[in-house]
């Protein structure tokens, strides 16, 4: 029972931290605020995570594992338009989980405050490896940029709010994939 409770608390800390990072940014959120939102002591948060960086690392772990799976699949196929298209579809599938979309949003919007956080550096390296897996090494700078913009299009489709683009989430996601595929030439 204790292990399950510990796991639940760790998960709750991650969820609340992600909410607060979205509301206030990484730099604008403290371990104390996370504890207060959860109704627990700072010491209880500290028992599970010593730093905000550890929390971010835990948030990124599942997402990074998903990207690793996509990259591994793509490397087995080799670069080309069909591989690019399938990578974008798989990546959109990864982003369809609400927590994954929030993690991608945190990474996108918090780039300046997260630049020295190890998990964010890992995320950036994974994005580059995903691009390298689907773009021929001799591809033009424009083609390389198109793939990166395609990934950003998927990010926007995953976390753009109703006010920014007043269409149902499924339509926003479909349009983002369509644009991403057009950009990447898939």
Rounded CA-CA distance 181/150 in Å is 7
User: Does the global pTM surpass 0.85?
Assistant: no
Q: Within this chain, do residues 26 and 102 fall inside the same structural domain, yes or no?
A: no
Is the model more confident about 117 or about 144? 144
pLDDT at position 99 is: 77
For the ranges 91-95, 107-111, 155-159, the lowest mean pLDDT is seen at 107-111
Q: Within this chain, do residues 36 and 63 fall inside the same structural domain, yes or no?
A: no
pLDDT at position 169 is: 82
Domain enclosing residue 94, as ranges: 56-184
Cα–Cα distance list, 140 to 136, 145, 159 (Å) = 9, 9, 30
Query: Which CATH number do you get for residue 29?
Result: 1.10.10.60
Give the confidence band of 32 by pLDDT, cuts at 50, 70, 90: very high
Rounded CA-CA distance 80/51 in Å is 42
Give the confidence band of 57 by pLDDT, cuts at 50, 70, 90: confident
pLDDT at position 155 is: 85
For residue 67, pLDDT over 50 is answered with yes
Query: pLDDT digits over 124-152, tens only?
Result: 788 888 888 888 888 889 988 898 899 88
Rounded CA-CA distance 173/59 in Å is 23
Rounded CA-CA distance 93/5 in Å is 30
Q: Within this chain, do residues 168 and 154 fall inside the same structural domain, yes or no?
A: yes
Q: Within this chain, do residues 131 and 153 fall inside the same structural domain, yes or no?
A: yes
For residue 177, pLDDT over 50 is answered with yes
Give the confidence band of 87 by pLDDT, cuts at 50, 70, 90: very high
Q: Within this chain, do residues 41 and 72 fall inside the same structural domain, yes or no?
A: no
For residue 65, pLDDT over 60 is answered with yes
The mean pLDDT value for 70-91 works out to 92
Q: Within this chain, do residues 34 and 118 fall inside the same structural domain, yes or no?
A: no
pLDDT at position 3 is: 52
Q: Within this chain, do residues 111 and 149 fall inside the same structural domain, yes or no?
A: yes
pLDDT at position 1 is: 45
For residue 186, pLDDT over 60 is answered with no
From 44, 19, 14, select the one nearest 32 (Cα to Cα). 44
Q: Within this chain, do residues 95 and 155 fall inside the same structural domain, yes or no?
A: yes
Q: Within this chain, do residues 116 and 45 fall inside the same structural domain, yes or no?
A: no
Output the average pLDDT for the chain: 84
Q: Within this chain, do residues 15 and 85 fall inside the same structural domain, yes or no?
A: no
Q: How many domains does the chain have?
A: 2
Positive or negative: CA dihedral 70, 76, 82, 83: positive
């Amino acid at each position: 029972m204790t292990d399950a409770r510990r796991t639940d608390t760790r998960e709750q800390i991650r969820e609340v931290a992600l909410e607060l990072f979205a509301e206030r940014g990484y730099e604008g959120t403290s371990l104390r605020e996370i504890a207060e939102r959860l109704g627990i002591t700072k010491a209880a948060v500290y028992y599970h995570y010593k730093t905000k960086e550890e929390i971010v690392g835990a948030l990124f772990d599942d997402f990074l594992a998903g990207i690793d799976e996509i990259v591994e699949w793509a490397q087995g196929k080799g670069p080309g338009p069909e591989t690019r298209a399938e990578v974008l579809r798989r990546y959109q599938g990864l982003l369809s989980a609400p927590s994954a979309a929030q993690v991608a949003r945190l990474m996108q919007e918090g780039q300046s405050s997260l630049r020295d956080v190890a998990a964010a550096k890992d995320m950036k390296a994974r994005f580059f490896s995903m691009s390298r897996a689907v773009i021929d090494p001799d591809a033009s700078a424009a083609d390389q940029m198109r793939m990166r913009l395609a990934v950003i299009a998927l990010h926007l489709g995953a976390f753009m709010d109703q006010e920014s683009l007043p269409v149902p989430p499924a339509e926003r996601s479909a349009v983002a994939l369509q644009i991403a595929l057009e950009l990447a030439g898939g």
